[in-house]
Structure 1
Amino acid sequence: MSSPAVPSISPRARWQAFGVCVAVAALTILDLSKVNVGLPSIEKSLGADSTALQVIVAGYALAFGLALVPAGRLGDLYSRKVMFIIGLSGFTLASVFCAIAPDIETLLIARILQGVAAGVQMPQVLGLVQQLFQGEERGRAFGLFGAVIGISTAFGPTLGGLLIAVGGPTDGWRLLFWMNVPLGVIALALAAWLLPKAQPHQPGARNLDLIGIVLLGIAVFAFMLPFVLTTGGPDDSPWRWLSLLGCAVAVVLFITWERRYEAAGKSPAIHFALFSLGSYRNGLLLATAYFAAIPAVFLLTTLFLQEGLGYAPVFAGMVSIPFALTSAATALIGGRLVSKYGRSLVVMGLVVAFVGFVLVLLGAVLPPAEYSIWFMAGAMAVAGAGGGFVISPNQTLTLAEIPVTEGGVAGSMAQVGQRVGTAVGVAAASSIFFATLYSEGPGNPDNVEVYHDGFRNAFFVTLGLILVALAIGLVDLLRRKRAADDDPEDDASDSDTAPGVPVADPVATDE
């Protein structure tokens, strides 16, 4: 099958629409990092326990992940612009309910609704970028996208700390959510004005595979739930892991249903042929491992600096600024270099990021406490320099061969992987951190060495996840080089094009 032509749109209009998309994506990602700094404030203000705090962070990621695939599919089939506006409206409204929440139960419900709304709008962003740009211009667009996302992720804790300082230690956390409201309203007006109405569609009936979507949603929920409920405290129930059996059953049912549905000539929720594209499959796995590590790094860092070393939220958040600056710079550079160096660029970025995070760990546990924050900030600059070469180049490589008509659902599956990774990584790292405090804390809760041990033990998890991402990157790099050796005349980024999936503008080779 061939991919329908992309409706013509002027370069100025494309970049204006891209500006709206990337701004809303940044607003969404900010809520994954800035709220971490507000957890101690929320705990004091609303009397939240460790489980509630875990749901605020990982529950948002869970709801986010559940909404991605159905929202991406609806955007592909009908209108990405309409779904974008629906998601942004819901995100803005849910932010209001978070800000005015009188108790922890209301905040948890509003936070989960906010995650659902974020999951509705994010696949539209990725689908629109696929639709608006082609070739090397797409690499530059994803480079700028990665720079903004990197800045948002790393500046989130600093911004959160500033807002708490302005609003006060008791209710300052409410400003974290109030901030979204005026920005969301402005973005809604710009989206209605600037986003393209027309988009390409595959010929034929626009059927929505509801059963497949529900089964996939059950699988994602059952997989993420035990990690969301993992706090590292003594009250964690071992029965929560039975949810993984339900996930396995749902996956088997989903695969069986999707194959029968596609065999009947209908369009399934996910074309499994996409996963036979090495560029897409390996890029998705790499991003899942990487995003399992990065949010956990920022969470552990802010917890260690606030609770262990006694820094105010604003200063605890500022340690990530060097990461933001260097990752933004290298993401822009990476967007321009990915078409030349391909997967090699990502592998190099992962090596540098790993070295940087090792230095973060050493900076936290070796120097005297009063100097740790400075060593950690310097190490964050090294990690960010590598991280910028990971996110945007990998995004470009992952979606390089995906047809425009599948951009939303393909991008949403990549986002599902990232949200699953976030939930798993945050749960694993934070539970080890708190478990160490629970085991060593009685009798010496103010001992800095207890927090050193908790940070060190939990940080080993994030380093392991970075190594997993590096291993996947090396496997993909070797696969590409073998393909290039077998067919030296082929300049495409992948030679194992899946049957039934058109090649959609390959952009990268490995030299």
Structure 2
Amino acid sequence: MRDSTPASTSAGAEGFTTEQRRILLVSLLVAFLSLLSVSIVNVVLPSIEQSLAASSAALQWILSGYALAFGVVLVAAGRAGDIYGRGRIFVAGLLLFGAGSLVAGFAADPPTLNIARVVMGLGSGFLNPQVTGLIQQYFSGAQRGRAFGLFGGIIGVSVAVGPVLGGVLVAAFGTEWGWRASFLVNVPFVVLAVVGACLWLPPSAWRAAVGSSPANSAAAGPQTGGAVSEAPRASRVTVGMSRIADLDPVGVILLGAGTLLVMLPFVEREAGTWIWSSLPIGLLLVVMWVRWEERCKRSGRAPMVDVELFRTRSFSNGTMLVSIHFLGMTSVWVLLALWMQSGLGHTALAAGLIGLPSALANAIFAPIAGRHITRIGRPLVLWGFALALTGLSLTVTAVILHYTLGTSEWWLLCTLGLLGAGQALIISPNQTLTLSEIPLRYAGSAGGVLQTGQRVGTSIGIAVITGITFTVLASQGWMTAFVVGFAVIFAVVAAAATVGVVDLVQGRRQNSDR
């Protein structure tokens, strides 16, 4: 199932054409904005609470509403881009995201803000699979690795820069307009991105990347010139209906509802024990979705996701690896922000600044990793895990030394920089390897599956790891709580690294059998 998609350029493997650079500029700007909106809110929540007199439940929904909407639509949005054209879904997502940001910035009460955040999350969910789909469509070989390397750098920078930018805006504009500016800042960039997409995305990006299912495409038939008759008009209606069928509405509902119910108890864990009843129901719906997709394929219809993709070693192992990795690693920044502010009494801005070296290292090393991933392969990802696990160990050591010997907490700038370098060698190289054997007709939906795993892993990881940390904190204090929390993160990241080792061994065994 090798990807036979040709690159849309005659440039050398190490260079991008003007068209490719424009695609990347528009795509990565949008990816940065959507992922920035995940991390920037953590710092401005106290300002929102003070400005709108928001309850703790309302504040929780400002976070979880975005996360849930984002995660639920990823796969369906990716498939829609495959069918209707990635440019169209890209712009639709931009308009949703921009409208939600505008309403959020001027929200007069918590319900309005929460609804706006859900709309922003839907927009982000529409956008992100199109970014990976566009890279799959217009880049190949070493170029694709470099493009995903830049994308990986954007992911790392957005996560680390979000808290810093939020702190700067609150410091610059005050409690009332600081948090509003964190949403309104998106709007002019969304306008620029819409204009850029309309001007710079090539015509093929606005057309379907896949055909209709066999039966329906036969019904459309060839069309001849001349006057438009009733038969061609009926054929166009048939083609339109086939596009809806290709989107697989039943599969969209099953997977969307299943993802929502699986994520819900982890993002709304304070709602009560009853909320956990949604977890088994969600898992059941996911199983039903897999059965439905298999049934669609057997009957000759186009499934939303061809479950045969999971039989491809690189895709299944890569998706598992990154899902487990996000389950652990995203909690690093949550625990650090809590420790810096609650444990040490630093400001939100200082708590955000602690992650800047990590962001810088990620931005530097991710493009370098992308340039070499097609040559080195899976070992490059394992080197990244070695760096990340070393960074985690040294971070814990620095915190212990702070409490026992009084050393400065700012030594974490060095240890987290090492962690960022490791992240750079993991995220984008793994994405390149995971999608390397995916056919173009499933590029969007496969990218959606990959990102859904990341979102679900993030939700579960933050809930579990912060829960463990707070439990220890209640009786043991911050040093022990920090050490225990990071020990759990270390174990989870080590498990992800183990998946990488298994994939490497399986790949070498597979090559030796050929």
TM-score computed with the length of structure 1 as normaliser: 0.88
Alpha-carbon separation, structure 2, partners of 1:266 and 1:420: 28
The CA distance in 1 between the partners of 2:401 and 2:8, in whole Å, is: 58
Question: Does the aligned pair in 2 maintain the 1:3–1:403 contact within 8 Å?
Answer: yes
- The amino acid of 2:125's aligned partner reads G
What is the aligned partner in structure 2 of residue 254 from structure 1? 289
Q: 1:466: which partner in 2?
A: 493
Alignment of 1:35-434 (within 5 A): 35-199=41-205, 201-205=209-213, 206=243, 207-231=246-270, 236-368=271-403, 371-434=407-470
CA separation of 1:177 and 1:141: change in aligned 2, threshold 3 A: same
Task: Map Cα deviations across residues 272-307 of structure 1 (whole Å, 9 max, x no partner).
Answer: 011000101111111111222232211211121122
C-alpha distance after superposition, 1:346-380 (max 9, x if no partner): 01101210110222233234315985431221110
Which deviations, in whole Å up to 9, do the C-alpha atoms of 1:375-412 show, x marking residues without a partner?
22111011111111001100100110111221111101
Q: 2-side partners of 1:454 and 1:209: how far apart? A: 46
For the aligned residue pairs, the C-alpha RMSD in angstroms reads 2.2
Deviation of 1:48 after TM superposition, in Å, equals 3.9
SS of the counterpart of 1:168? helix
Task: Tell me, yes or no, if the aligned pair for 1:334 and 1:389 is still in contact at 8 Å.
Answer: yes
Change in CA separation of 1:3 and 1:332 when aligned onto 2, cut-off 3 Å: closer
SS of structure 2 residue aligned to 1:389: helix
Q: Distance in 1 between matches of 2:310 and 2:462?
A: 26
Gaps of 5+ in 2: 11-16, 214-242
Cα displacement string for residues 120-178 of structure 1 (whole angstroms, at most 9, x for unaligned residues): 01111110010110111111111122122222222222112111111224542222111
Does the 8 A contact of 1:58 with 1:426 survive in 2?
Answer: no
Task: Give the secondary-structure state (helix, strand or coil) at the position aligned to 1:333.
Answer: helix
CA displacement at 1:421 relative to structure 2: 1.0
Q: Distance in 1 between the 2:483 and 2:58 partners? A: 24
Cα gap change, 1:40/1:304 in structure 2, threshold over 3 Å: closer, same or farther?
farther
Aligned counterparts of 2:367 and 2:446: Cα–Cα separation in 1: 23
Residues 295/170 of structure 1: CA separation in 2 closer, same or farther (3 Å cut): farther
- Indicate how the Cα distance of structure 1 residues 51 and 254 shifts in structure 2: closer, same or farther if over 3 A, else same: same
Q: Do 1:45 and 1:171's aligned partners in 2 also have CA atoms closer than 8 Å?
A: no
Q: CA deviation at 1:318?
A: 0.5
SS in 2 for 1:38: helix
Q: Radius of gyration: which is bigger?
A: 2
After superposition, the C-alpha distances for 1:79-127 in whole angstroms (9 at most, x for unaligned) are: 1001000001110110112212222232222112211110001111110
Distance 1:110 1:85 in 2: 18
- SS of alignment partner, residue 425 of structure 2: coil
Partners of 2:393 and 2:60 lie apart in 1 by 26
Q: How many residue pairs get matched?
A: 474
Over 3 Å counting, the alpha-carbon distance change for 1:469 and 1:2 in structure 2 is closer
Q: What's the counterpart of residue 490 of structure 1?
A: none
Structure 1 Cα separation of the partners of residues 2 and 378 of structure 2: 27
Asked whether the 8 Å contact 2:149–2:428 carries over to 1, the reply is yes
- What is the aligned partner in structure 1 of residue 226 from structure 2? none
Q: Which has more helix, going by share of residues?
A: 2
In the superposition, the TM-score normalised over structure 2's length comes to 0.87
Cα pair 1:130 1:138 within 8 Å, conserved:
yes
Aligned to 1:445: none
User: How far apart in 1 are the matches of 2:75 and 2:357?
Assistant: 34
Equivalent pair of 2:43/2:348 in contact (CA under 8 Å)? yes
Amino acid corresponding to residue 487 of structure 2 in structure 1: F
Check the 8 A contact 2:401/2:407 in 1, yes or no. Answer: no
2:228 counterpart residue number: none
Equivalence for 1:507: none
Q: Secondary structure at the match of 2:402?
A: coil
Work out whether residues 58 and 427 of structure 1, in 8 Å CA contact, stay in contact via their aligned partners in 2. no
Q: CA deviation at 1:53?
A: 3.6
Identity of aligned residues (%): 41
Would the alpha carbon gap of residues 285 and 177 (structure 1) be closer, same or farther in structure 2, given more than 3 Å must change? same
Q: Which runs of 5+ in 1 are unaligned?
A: 441-448, 488-511
Q: CA deviation at 1:462?
A: 2.1
- CA shift for structure 1 position 432: 2.9
8 Å contact from structure 1 (residues 428, 461) kept in 2: no
